[in-house]
Amino acid sequence: MQRNVFIKTFGCQMNERDSEIMSQILGTLGYIECLEESQADLIILNTCSIRAKAEQKVMSHLGALRKEKTKRPSLKICVAGCVAQQEGNNIVRKMPHVDLVIGTQEIYKIGELISELEDSTVATALSNEYEIPRFIPNKKTISSGTSYKKFVTIMQGCNNFCTYCVVPYTRGREVSRNSDDIIEEIRVLINNGVKEVTLLGQNVNSYGKTNPVSNQKPGYDFADLLHDVANIEGLKRLRFTTSNPKDLTDRLMRCFRDIPLLCPQFHLPVQAGSNNVLKRMNRKYTRESYLELVDKLREYRPDIVITTDVIVGFPGETDEDFEQTMDMLETVRYHGSFSFKYSDRPGTASLKLDNKISEAVKSARLSRFQKRQDEICLEHNQNFVGSILEVMVEGCDGESIKTRSATNHLVHIDSDQTLPAGAIVQAEIIQAGLHSLKGALV
């Protein structure tokens, strides 16, 4: 029997892939993804709790679904992801119209849980001995989402306990996925037309280090995995995210020199520029050691585009501390960044710190940072004008072609040509904006 599932994903790329996994598993039970909530027999909210705002969004969406459930009592509502893990039973207590709460380590069981659903099932076990189940999508289930680029999960969880961060509590301890499974999944993807993969984990740099991968020789690490993946016949582009600077080895940085299909793009979250703040964040690196990494990366791959994450207004952040964050931006000249106001999260160590920064100060710091980042980003983008970039086609509408460069810039090309998604062409950059470049086919 065909049934429709509607999945709404909040938060990170990890969650995007988890949503796709749930869709692929449900696909084997006859569920088809639909685009409208109103057509769904099953609605899944795959949630994020990284900041209070993200969690509020989920809660208000869930509240609104109460009406829908009253109208259509056969509708099933499922909450997955980080809020599900964090809140567990509280969700069904507050929202009795929720049928299933499924935690971050339970998503591979969604098929069984949905088939045998009893009133308000809560499945949020979080184990230190967790292993990522062997799950390889097949030709039939692969098709959800885009066809030419895909995310591949290589690890789950986090052991770092940055003092502001909820992730170690919502995703559990770090566990690396069996590398044979990763490579087999990528082979299947390539055989089905995929050209680009992004390897995903909360801290990919420590792949294989904690919870050693059972099928591998001792010492097999993320650099080994990158080399093995890059050798898979037919792969055109390789990316990864996210990295913690404290675990960035020289061997890994050399991959940017030695693996041509590894895209020259590195997201290296700095979070703060002041050593005092970094220490209180438990980041385990200093601004000096971070800057050394940036220099090394640029030595190994001169065209590398470095982006970052920044938190402003961490408890106790002084004006001088914040100036150090601004100075980091001037020194590294990031091509782009995600910047956030510090947000108190349940269970984290920073929740208990004194000297919380006022909303007004946080807002002022954030806008100052973002304004300067935009200026720098535009300057970088303008430097591309006149150069020729290899770009991958994302889509065509008869008037223009939307493409992406290896540096992860969006490049729009005026052209009535129809090229298949995933095709690689050369574009001369003729104009630069803040959010995209304009190119001409060469």
Q: Which residues lie near ligand 5AD (CB under 6 A)?
A: 50-51, 164-165, 269, 271, 309, 311, 340, 342-343, 345
Minimal distance in Å, beta carbon 58 to ligand SF4? 10
Q: Tell me which residue of 77, 360, 391 sits closest to 263, measured CA to CA.
A: 391
Nearer to ligand SF4, 171 or 239 (CB): 171
DSSP string, 341-382: E----TT-GGGG-S-PPPHHHHHHHHHHHHHHHHHHHHHHHH
Minimal distance in Å, beta carbon 22 to ligand SF4? 14
Minimal distance in Å, beta carbon 199 to ligand 5AD? 17
Nearer to ligand SF4, 81 or 137 (CB): 81
Q: Please answer whether residues 50 and 23 qualify as being in contact, where contact means their C-beta atoms are separated by less than 8 angstroms.
A: no
Question: Any contact of residue 48 with ligand SF4 (CB under 6 A)?
Answer: yes
What does the per-residue mask of binding to ligand SF4 show for 64-93, with x meaning CB under 6 A?
A: -----------------xx-----------
Phi, psi at 170, each rounded to 5°: -95, -25
Q: Please answer whether residues 386 and 230 qualify as being in contact, where contact means their C-beta atoms are separated by less than 8 angstroms.
A: no
The kind and range of the H/E element at 7 are strand 3-9
Minimal distance in Å, beta carbon 158 to ligand 5AD? 11
Taking the C-alpha atoms of residue 23 and residue 411, their distance in angstroms, rounded to an integer, is 30
222 class by beta-carbon count within 10 Å (0-12 exposed, 13-18 middle, 19+ buried):
buried
Segment interacting with ligand SF4 (CB under 6 A) among 7-15, 180-188, 220-228, 328-336: 7-15
Partner whose binding site includes residue 342, from ligand SF4, ligand 5AD, none (CB under 5 to 8 Å by kind): ligand 5AD
Minimal distance in Å, beta carbon 296 to ligand 5AD? 21
Nearer to ligand 5AD, 179 or 202 (CB): 202
Question: Any contact of residue 22 with ligand SF4 (CB under 6 A)?
Answer: no
Minimal distance in Å, beta carbon 11 to ligand SF4? 3
Taking the C-alpha atoms of residue 181 and residue 200, their distance in angstroms, rounded to an integer, is 14
Partner whose binding site includes residue 170, from ligand SF4, ligand 5AD, none (CB under 5 to 8 Å by kind): ligand SF4
In the sheet with 42-47, reading across from the earlier edge strand, the strands are 31-33, 3-9, 42-47, 76-80, 100-102, 121-123
Segment interacting with ligand SF4 (CB under 6 A) among 12-20, 22-30, 266-274, 420-428: 12-20
Which residues are registered as beta bridge partners of 221?
none
* Binding residue (CB under 6 A) for ligand SF4 from 171, 195, 236, 280: 171
Taking the C-alpha atoms of residue 383 and residue 388, their distance in angstroms, rounded to an integer, is 12
Question: Any contact of residue 14 with ligand SF4 (CB under 6 A)?
Answer: yes
